[in-house]
Amino acid sequence: MQLPVLDSAGREVSQIDLPSDIFEAKINVGLMHQAFVRQMANARQGSHNTRSRSEIRATGAKWYRQKGTGRARHGAQSAPIFVGGGLAHGPKPRDYSKRMPKKMRQGAIRSTLSALVRDDQLILVDKLDMDAPKTKEMRSFIKALVGDQSALIVVTRDQKTVRKSASNLAKVHSLVANYLNVRDLLKYDKVIMSLDALDVIKGIWGKGA
């Protein structure tokens, strides 16, 4: 499959053949959903905690006498039905992380990239180089490519100035190609990718990698 390569002004400068094993893979929606759920679950800290009845600091003495008051029988103020008492069946610290085989994770990324190409959401640019971080230049660059739509910029580790330039833009996010994930790829209207980042993706998610 061929895709046009644009310059910083949004003009087509060339065409490039995309590897079919990455960008023409079978789109498995179920696999993409499983990878997304795993990613969101692994992001949870699981540090929530509530005190049970046994953890409440209160007197162990009987609140009032057993008989003669006309009230129900109660042994302690730490019971869950009282204000300040323990919480029955409350959340405790736990690990929410999920596991997923490596080949399934790779398949989810390939499915997502293929879906982006199918829906015309992937934009390739010949280069993403900036001498210094400049938000104004980055805003003009994004405007020329996607207009007012939200965009994910996929860059290499060396393109630090590009990432800094995009950090102050509300609907723009930058991501290093080594850390591609289903959530970020599907979150934005367009995905802008430099040719250098494309080479990184070929080396990581290609079938021969």
In order of start, what are the domains of the chain with their CATH numbers?
2-44+99-205 (3.40.1370.10), 46-95 (no CATH)
Separation of alpha carbons 147 and 163, rounded Å: 19
Does the structure show a pLDDT above 90 at 209?
A: no
- Output the CA torsion sign for 90, 92, 95, 97: positive
Does the structure show a pLDDT above 90 at 61?
A: no
The pTM assigned to this predicted structure is: 0.83
pLDDT tens per residue across span 174-199: 999 999 999 999 999 999 999 999 99
The angle formed by the CA atoms of residues 20, 26 and 32, to the nearest 5 degrees, is 115
Q: How many CB atoms are located within 10 Å of the residue 106 CB?
A: 18
pLDDT tens per residue across span 135-159: 999 999 899 999 999 999 999 998 8
Alpha-carbon torsion angle 37, 42, 43, 45, nearest 10: 130
Residue 71 Cα distances to 24, 41, 78, 119, 178, angstroms: 73, 47, 17, 69, 66
pLDDT band at 22 (very low <50, low <70, confident <90, very high): very high
* Nearest one of 123, 192, 121 to 163, comparing CA atoms: 192
The angle formed by the CA atoms of residues 44, 45 and 49, to the nearest 5 degrees, is 120
Q: What confidence score (pLDDT) does residue 208 get?
A: 64
Does the structure show a pLDDT above 80 at 45?
A: yes
Between 8 and 46, residue with greater pLDDT:
46
Q: What confidence score (pLDDT) does residue 12 get?
A: 85
Separation of alpha carbons 10 and 126, rounded Å: 10
Separation of alpha carbons 25 and 92, rounded Å: 42
Q: What confidence score (pLDDT) does residue 95 get?
A: 95
Separation of alpha carbons 17 and 9, rounded Å: 22
Q: What confidence score (pLDDT) does residue 46 get?
A: 93
